[in-house]
Amino acid sequence: MQDVGLVFGDAKAVLGKLQQALVQKQVDGYLSDRRACPHCGRPRAFKGHHPLRFRTAFGDIDFRSPRWRRCRCEQTREATFCPLSELLTVHTAPELTYLQAKWAAQVSFAAVGALLHDVLPVDQGLRPETIRRHVLDTAERLEAQLGPEQFAYDGGSQREIEASPEPAAPTTVGLDGGYIRGRDRLPGANGCFEVIAGKSIPEEGAAKVFAFVHRIDRKPKRRLRSVLESQGILPRQHITFLCDGGDTVRELGAFVHPRSEHILDWFHVAMRIEQLLQTARGWQGSEKEHLLKGIKRVKWFLWHGNVIRADETLYDLLEEINGVREQDRHAGRPPSVVLRKLDRALDEFATYVDNNAGAIVNYGERYRCGERISTGFVESAVNQVISKRFVKKQQMRWTPRGAHLLLQVRTQVLNDELRGSFERWYAGFGARDQVPLAA
């Protein structure tokens, strides 16, 4: 059975020879058509040539690139020029660049090189560093497509908004943060930097993800707005933003859409309250049950969107803890470590609630109506966008800029948009894939 049909070695050799002949014929035809002067029709004089290598998905093509003299009737300052510079603006074929970017968004650069070497007759000079450089160049080009950053985005004047089409069903956007191990570790830091990831889920249509490194990205709102526009967002359409209440993600969704609602994620609220309960359970004082009951009351008030009563209960608990600590001090008893930790945690949670008071809603009512109250779907998006490619188990360390650029390519691949970007850059890219071969 192993002798039936072509094997990889034979197939790659055939493809390589075929590509060499095809490219050489196309280059010869291109040079023949442009040898004559467009003004007088006389052939341009030949000055010399230099070697040129063109990388394709079916092997590297080496040929001689000529240099011609300008005709006297051409009114230009350059005495000579290289005609192939107009045809081969870059020395890597778009198909090969596309394959590198698509696979590098999912596996390591070394694995991409090994995969391409196994199935295609690419040259052995295609090393991981070369692939990394090509992928980052693609990401730079994707970044250049984004428009300028704006403080706020609106739907136009009120008359234009009212004249706009009827909006579709509401869209939910979840925002969360993750961390990537950095290459450089600053003094006093843990060596990681923050990445903001999100997912936009319309009621109709496919969901899309986005991500960026907050430290270096200068156009985060434009990036989010572009995702919404690609999903056909309308001026009168309602958007619900869900986030964990952090300063970074809370400010991102502000003023991105005129009709938006910002909700604090209930999962993060409940998680913080559970941490408070765990800390309080470690205290052995006589007021322990009263303290636990008070924290549960805070949770009940927040579940029903009653921020005022939750604040009052929190500050009452802080006063009671301070009173118990003062009594211990006067009685000469050693200070309680649990109460000190609980006092600090309650104070931080009260600040957290105050900062996000406008985003706390009646979660119970939304839950009964079947509406989203948690960013559980964003946790899976963070795992999909960040963890599967930047996982710590691979012992990889990243620069913020390199991680940010690779994230843009990865989100394009996950959103099935990378091929569309290449089709905009290169007219006719992939068009021959749709043409059936003749028998």
pLDDT score at 293 = 94
- The beta strand positions in 247-403, using DSSP E, are 260-264
Q: Which residue has tokens 């211990």?
A: 328
Paired sense of beta strands 46-56 and 80-81, if any:
unpaired
CA quadruple 361, 365, 367, 370: dihedral sign: negative
Least confidently predicted of 95-104, 135-144, 260-269: 260-269
In the sheet that holds 260-264, the strands lie side by side as: 208-213, 192-202, 171-181, 239-243, 260-264
pLDDT score at 178 = 86
Q: What is the mean pLDDT of residues 129-144?
A: 94
421 DSSP 8-state letter: H
CB distance 135 to 406 below 8 Å: yes
Tens of pLDDT, residues 209-225: 999 998 899 999 999 99
CB distance 264 to 175 below 8 Å: no
* 203 pLDDT above the threshold of 80: yes
* 179 pLDDT above the threshold of 70: yes
Selection from 3, 138, 41 nearest residue 410 by Cα:
138
CB distance 150 to 222 below 8 Å: yes
In the sheet that holds 46-56, the strands lie side by side as: 46-56, 59-69, 80-81
**3-class secondary structure, 258:** coil
* 434 pLDDT above the threshold of 80: no
* 435 pLDDT above the threshold of 70: no
CA angle 182, 186, 192 (to 5 degrees): 30
pLDDT score at 208 = 93
pLDDT score at 433 = 61
Q: Please provide the average confidence, as pLDDT, over all residues in the chain.
A: 87
Q: Which residue has tokens 């913080």?
A: 272
Question: At 136, is the pLDDT very low, low, confident or very high (cuts 50, 70, 90)?
Answer: very high
Count the residues in the chain. 439
Cα(33)–Cα(26) distance, integer angstroms: 11
State how far the alpha carbon of 208 is from the alpha carbons of 60, 146, 234, 294, 414, in Å: 36, 17, 17, 41, 8
pLDDT score at 360 = 93
Question: At 137, is the pLDDT very low, low, confident or very high (cuts 50, 70, 90)?
Answer: very high
Residues 6+ apart with CB under 8 A from 177: 194, 195, 196, 197, 214, 244, 246, 248, 249, 382
Question: At 329, is the pLDDT very low, low, confident or very high (cuts 50, 70, 90)?
Answer: confident
Q: What is the mean pLDDT of residues 179-199?
A: 82
Question: At 392, is the pLDDT very low, low, confident or very high (cuts 50, 70, 90)?
Answer: low
Tens of pLDDT, residues 233-258: 887 788 889 988 887 787 888 788 87
Tens of pLDDT, residues 343-382: 999 999 999 999 999 899 999 999 999 888 887 888 888 8
Cα(283)–Cα(338) distance, integer angstroms: 6
Cα(266)–Cα(199) distance, integer angstroms: 17
Selection from 197, 200, 195, 176 nearest residue 260 by Cα:
200
Helices 94-104 and 400-414, interaxial angle, to 10°?
A: 100
CB distance 167 to 237 below 8 Å: yes
Q: What percent of the chain has pLDDT over 70?
A: 94
Class of domain 158-265+375-398: alpha beta
Q: What is the mean pLDDT of residues 96-121?
A: 92
The one-letter amino acid at 142: L
**3-class secondary structure, 138:** helix
Question: At 104, is the pLDDT very low, low, confident or very high (cuts 50, 70, 90)?
Answer: very high
State how far the alpha carbon of 99 is from the alpha carbons of 31, 94, 314, 373, 414, in Å: 29, 9, 56, 39, 14
The one-letter amino acid at 343: D
Helix (H) or strand (E) holding 241: strand 239-243
Q: CA dihedral defined by 89, 95, 100, 105, rounded to 10 degrees?
A: 110
Domain range annotation of the chain: 1-91, 158-265+375-398, 268-359
392 DSSP 8-state letter: G
Residue 394 has which token pair? 């691979």
Question: At 439, is the pLDDT very low, low, confident or very high (cuts 50, 70, 90)?
Answer: very low
Higher pLDDT pick, 426 / 75: 426
Which residues are bridge partners to 49 per DSSP? Answer: 66
